[in-house]
């Protein structure tokens, strides 16, 4: 039973570029949440997708957008990258709402 998987593992971009991160939820899960974790900080909630729609959103600008596909996998897109976007991006999946969230290993994004 595969857990939450994320790709790529590491990514280096330059300021102003755009990036897409991918997440496959744990088998049987239909809800995906994204978090950003800066160095030395706890994860910060970006948004959550359920039934291919954004259901909740944290305090992040519109440069951060996402998508969920019919197979429940999800993408996180960040436009116009800033140096401050450098972080570990974590995906978490769950079965429906208000249930235990399982986290993936994350994608380490470095913006130069």
Strand order in the sheet with 64-68: 5-7, 19-24, 74-78, 64-68
Q: Which is nearer to other proteins, 17 or 56 (CB)?
A: 56
Q: Which is nearer to other proteins, 15 or 55 (CB)?
A: 55
> x/- contact string, 52-81, with other proteins (CB under 8 A)?
---xx-x-----------------------
Site for other proteins in 20-39 (CB under 8 A): 31, 33, 35
42 lines the binding site for other proteins (CB under 8 A)? yes
Tell me the CB-side half-sphere exposure of residue 67, using CA atoms within 13 A: 9
Structure tokens at 72: 């429940």
> Which member of 66, 101, 109, 111 binds other proteins (CB under 8 A)?
101
- Smallest CA-to-CA distance from 29 within 3, 52, 66, 53 is with 3
**Terminus-to-terminus CA distance in the chain, angstroms?**
37
Which stretches of the chain bind other proteins, using CB under 8 A?
Answer: 4, 31, 33, 35, 40-45, 48, 55-56, 58, 90, 92, 94, 97-98, 100-106
């Amino acid at each position: 039973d595969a857990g939450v998987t994320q790709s790529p593992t590491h990514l280096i971009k330059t300021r102003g570029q755009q990036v897409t991160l991918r997440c496959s939820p744990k088998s049987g899960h239909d809800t995906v949440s994204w978090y950003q974790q800066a160095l030395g900080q706890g994860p910060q909630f970006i948004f959550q997708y359920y039934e291919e729609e954004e259901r909740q959103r944290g305090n992040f600008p519109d440069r951060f957008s996402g998508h969920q596909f019919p197979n429940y996998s999800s993408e996180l897109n960040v436009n116009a990258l800033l140096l401050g976007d450098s972080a570990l991006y974590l995906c978490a999946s769950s079965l429906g709402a208000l249930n235990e969230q399982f986290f993936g290993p994350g994608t380490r994004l470095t913006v130069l």
